[in-house]
Amino acid sequence: MKQYMKVLELLMTGNPVQKNEFDVLKNDVELYRLSAYMWDIKNKIGGNIKSIKNGKTVIAYQLLNPNDMKQHFTKQEEVPLAKAAMTKTETPTPIPHINDGSVALLDTSFDDDNGDPV
């Protein structure tokens, strides 16, 4: 799961979320990047986020379109599983070369679970 999706989970209520409420994510995300995560939510998935300020200081964030984000949120959870299944490939066994320029065949059959050759 992307880091900004974890931040989006807290915003999904649609109510203003105080900056100190994001402390529950301190083990999962870098809190100093909170504004960058808000930028990701706005620009990557189309979230409409309102910054609530006291003077120049942001004190809270509010997601104004939580119903639209539910659709993107469920897609995000499904994609990594599908992507992992599609990208799984076997690495080919390297074939060692002999000094005379010919190629030796490598026996890849194994006798036991430890990987010891036959």
Does 18 fall in a domain? yes
Q: Is a pLDDT exceeding 80 seen at residue 82?
A: no
Which residues are within 8 A (CB) of 53 and not within 5 positions of it... i.e. 6 or more apart?
Answer: 59
Does 40 fall in a domain? yes
Q: What is the pLDDT of residues 48-75, one digit of tens each?
A: 999 999 999 999 999 999 888 887 655 5
Q: Is a pLDDT exceeding 50 seen at residue 79?
A: no
pTM exceeding 0.85: no
Count of the separate structural domains present in the chain = 1
Helices 66-87 and 34-45 pack at an angle, to 10 degrees, of 90
pLDDT value of residue 118:
53
Provide the 10 A C-beta neighbour count for residue 62.
Answer: 16
Written in H, E and C, the secondary structure of 103-116 is ECCCCCCECCCCCC
Q: Is a pLDDT exceeding 70 seen at residue 85?
A: no
**CA dihedral sign of residues 107, 113, 116, 118:** negative
The CATH code of the domain that includes 54 is: 1.10.10
Does 69 fall in a domain? yes
Does 109 fall in a domain? no
Q: Is 92 left (phi over 0), alpha (psi -120 to 50) or beta?
A: beta
Range of the domain at 34: 3-87
Provide the 10 A C-beta neighbour count for residue 73.
Answer: 16
Does 26 fall in a domain? yes
Mean pLDDT of 24-40: 88
